[in-house]
Amino acid sequence: MLVIGGCAHQQSPLAPAGDQAVALHQLLILMFIVSGLLYASVLVGLCWSVLRGKAAAARKINVAQEPSIGKGLWGAATVITLALTALILASFLADRALFSTRAQPAMLVRITAHQWWWRIEYQDAATGKWIETANELHLPVSRTTRVLVRTSDVIHSFWVPNVAGKIDMVPGRPNQLDLTPRRLGWYRGQCAEYCGAQHAHMALDVRIEDARSFDSWLARQAAPAQLGSLQSLPGAPVFDAHCASCHVIRGTSAKGKAGPDLTHIAGRRSIAAGTLPMTRGGLQGWIVQPQALKPGTMMPASGLSASRADAVADYLAGLK
C-alpha cells in the first residue's frame, strides 16, 4: 500500500471511504486473488515440469508423448476460462452497482473543470439556485450526492479515489457520478487526465462531514461575504481595480467569472487547487507572482508592488 509521509490514505483507492469506492475495492481484491492464484499455479506447473523433465531425461522417456500432457493442457485451459469468466462477471456487477440509478440523490453538485482548477456549485434544494465555490468539495456523510461534471476547455477527469472511480469531463458531453461517502475526514482528489502544463497542480480538497456541519458550511457559502470592517481596508479598492474583472466576491462589485469565486476564499484549505496551503503569506505570494508558483496558470502576474499585494492579501484573508 502506498503511504507517503503525513498524507497516508488521503488519496488511495485501497482505503475506500464511500460505497462506490468499496465496490471498486472489492473488484480489485477479487482480481488480485484470482490472478495471484493463476500466477502461483503457473509457477507450480513450471517447477513440476522441470523436475519431471529431468527425471524423464534420466530414464530416456520422451515427455511430449505422455498422455498426461494433453490432460494437463485441457485442465489449464478450463481453469483459465473459468477464472476469466468470473472476473468478467464481477466487473460487470461492479459496473452495474456504480451506475445503476439509485433513489433520488439528496443533492446535486455541478463541477466544471478549468485549466487548472475546479468550479463547484451546489444546488440549493429549497430555491433551486446554485451556490458557487471552488477547489474544495464538501460532502455530507451517508447521503448520496449526484455530481454533474463538465469542462470549460480541454478533457479533464474527476477522481477522488477514496470515494469513487474516475469520470471524464469531456467538452460538450456532460457526465454524472453518484457519491455516497461513509467515512468522515479530509481526502484529496486529483485531475486524472493530462490537461496541460499544470495538470499536476489540479488537485481538489474533499471534506466528508456530518450532515449538521455540512449544512452550516453550505449556509456560510451561500451567504455573501461578511464585509464589515474589511470594506475600509486599503486592499479593497486595489482588488476592485486589479482583480474584480476575473473574480467574484459576492456582496461587492467584483463580478468577474474567469477565475474562482473568492467570496469565502480564506475558509478554504489551500490556494490554487492544492498548490499552496492557505495562509496569509501564501495568499500574498500567490497575488505577487502566480506565474512563479504555478507556471502557465491562467491568472496573470498582477504587477502590484509588494505593499499593495500585502494589502490585498489582508483583505482576502478576512473573507472567511
Catalog residues that contact Cu ion under the rule CB under 5 A: 156, 191, 195, 202
Place of cell 449538521: 212
Query: E-strand spans in 55-180?
Result: 107-114, 117-123, 130-134, 136-140, 145-151, 156-158, 167-169, 175-179
Q: Which cell is 65 given?
A: 508423448
Question: Does 286 participate in binding ligand HEC (rule CB under 6 A)?
Answer: yes
Q: In terms of CB distance, is 195 or 313 closer to Cu ion?
A: 195
Q: In terms of CB distance, is 21 or 283 closer to ligand HEC?
A: 283
Asked if residue 186 has a cis previous peptide bond (ω within 30° of 0), the answer is no
CB of 139 to ligand HEC, least distance (A): 18
Question: Does 249 participate in binding ligand HEC (rule CB under 6 A)?
Answer: no
Say if residues 274 and 203 touch (Cβ distance below 8 Å): yes
- Considering only 299, 311, 317, 319, the residue that binds ligand HEC (CB under 6 A) is 299
Say if residues 221 and 286 touch (Cβ distance below 8 Å): no
User: How many binding residues for ligand HEC (CB under 6 A)?
Assistant: 31
Cβ-Cβ contacts under 8 Å for 160 (sequence gap 6 or more): 137, 179, 187, 188, 189, 204, 206
CA dihedral 293, 295, 298, 302 (to 10 degrees): 60
Q: How many CA atoms lie within 13 A of 283 on its CB side?
A: 22
CB of 35 to ligand HEC, least distance (A): 40
Q: In terms of CB distance, is 113 or 179 closer to ligand HEC?
A: 113
Q: How many CA atoms lie within 13 A of 63 on its CB side?
A: 14
Rounded alpha-carbon distances, angstroms, from residue 20 to 98, 109, 149, 166, 191: 6, 17, 17, 11, 18
Residues facing 213 on adjacent strands: none
Question: Does 289 participate in binding ligand HEC (rule CB under 6 A)?
Answer: no
Region binding ligand HEC by CB under 6 A among candidate stretches 9-17, 43-51, 55-63, 235-243: 235-243
Region binding ligand HEC by CB under 6 A among candidate stretches 74-82, 163-171, 210-218, 240-248: 240-248
Q: In terms of CB distance, is 90 or 298 closer to ligand HEC?
A: 298
Looking only at residues 137 through 176 of this chain, which bind ligand HEC when binding is defined by CB under 6 A?
none
What is the H or E stretch that residue 120 is in?
strand 117-123
156 interacts with, out of Cu ion, ligand HEC, none, CB within 5 to 8 A per kind: Cu ion
CB of 248 to ligand HEC, least distance (A): 11
Q: In terms of CB distance, is 50 or 258 closer to ligand HEC?
A: 258
Cα angle 299, 304, 306 (rounded to 5 degrees) comes to 115
Looking only at residues 188 through 217 of this chain, which bind ligand HEC when binding is defined by CB under 6 A?
198
254 interacts with, out of Cu ion, ligand HEC, none, CB within 5 to 8 A per kind: none
- Considering only 312, 317, 318, 319, the residue that binds ligand HEC (CB under 6 A) is 312
4 interacts with, out of ligand HEC, Cu ion, none, CB within 5 to 8 A per kind: none
Say if residues 221 and 122 touch (Cβ distance below 8 Å): yes
Question: Does 246 participate in binding ligand HEC (rule CB under 6 A)?
Answer: yes
Q: Is 305 left (phi over 0), alpha (psi -120 to 50) or beta?
A: beta
Region binding ligand HEC by CB under 6 A among candidate stretches 21-29, 104-112, 185-193, 299-307: 299-307
287 interacts with, out of ligand HEC, Cu ion, none, CB within 5 to 8 A per kind: ligand HEC
Q: Which cell is 122 given?
A: 451546489
Residues in the chain: 320
Cα–Cα distance for residue pair 21/19, rounded to 1 Å: 5
Q: State the residues that interact with ligand HEC by CB under 6 A.
A: 116-117, 134-135, 198, 239, 242-243, 245-247, 258-260, 262, 265, 271-273, 283, 286-287, 294, 297-300, 302, 304, 312, 316
